[in-house]
Amino acid sequence: MIKILSLLAASLFLLSGCVVNEKPVQEEKPAALEKPAAPEQDKEKAPIAEPAPEDLAPEPAPDAGELQYLDAISPILNQMAAGLFDFGTLNLEASQDPSLLTDPDWISEMAASLVLLQGTSDALKALSPPPEMAEVHSLLLKAGTEIEYVTENYPAAIENGDLIAIGKCTEALVNVGMYLEQATEALGTSLPSY
């Protein structure tokens, strides 16, 4: 399940285009401004009462159907992440150099990324989830439907320079991210950790 959650998270990350490589800056105070630590006094401290252990029932192990489903969607989500990454990278390149929109190599690479994405939608449709995974699967199918919209409409939108159609494809990709996030949440609550 952790692998599936990380794949969904990676897909969301790639879709969002957010990359943060910097660590937060921590301000360091000069030593002269720091107050010296107060000397420890020999006080007898009252023992801290530890909370009583909660009676936790062991989580049930996922059944074979759930595990098979998770094994089946793992490569699909890997393919989706790769397709979204390629799609995003190509669009970023074209936004920096619009002449790429007519470059045969760029067009070929974009077509390949769209085929990769369409394959994820087709593969998701071919799966039959166990009842426990119905909600997750439904959300993934919705993401697949949005991907289909993009794969069917984006090439013509780019070719025609149709900003409205490009905007609708962008909306569809935002929806893909939303459905993947919801699937991640549903998956996180539907199965115990293992």
pLDDT of residue 59: 56
Question: What tokens appear for 143 in the block?
Answer: 């993401």
What is the number of structural domains in the chain? 1
- 51 in a domain, yes or no? no
Lowest mean pLDDT among 46-50, 68-72, 121-125: 46-50
Tell me if 113 is assigned to some domain.
Answer: yes
In a domain, 45, yes or no: no
Q: Which domain holds residue 93?
A: 2-12+62-190
Of the pLDDT bands very low, low, confident and very high (cuts 50, 70, 90), residue 175 is very high
User: Has residue 115 got a pLDDT over 60?
Assistant: yes
**Per the domain annotation, does 73 fall within a domain?**
yes
Terminal-residue alpha carbon distance, the chain? 7
Q: Is residue 54 domain-resident?
A: no
| Domain membership flag for residue 150 | yes
Q: Among residues of the chain, what percentage have pLDDT more than 70?
A: 65
Q: Which residue has better confidence, 51 or 136?
A: 136
Among the ranges given (5-19, 92-106, 110-124, 149-163), the one the predictor scored with the smallest mean pLDDT: 5-19
Checking if the pLDDT of 17 tops 60, the result is no
The answer to whether residue 57 is domain-embedded is no
Amino acid at 185: E
Range from 21-25, 115-119, 151-155 carrying the lowest mean pLDDT: 21-25
CA distance 77 to 124: 9
For residue 116, pLDDT over 70 is answered with yes
Number of H helices, E strands in the chain: 5, 0
Mean of the pLDDT values across residues 157-180? Answer: 93
Share of residues in the chain with pLDDT > 90 (%): 54
Give residue 4's pLDDT band: very low, low, confident or very high (50, 70, 90): very low
Q: Is 86 helix (H, G, I), strand (E, B) or coil?
A: helix
Is residue 52 in some structural domain?
no
Per residue in 88-107, pLDDT (tens digit) is 999 999 999 999 988 999 99
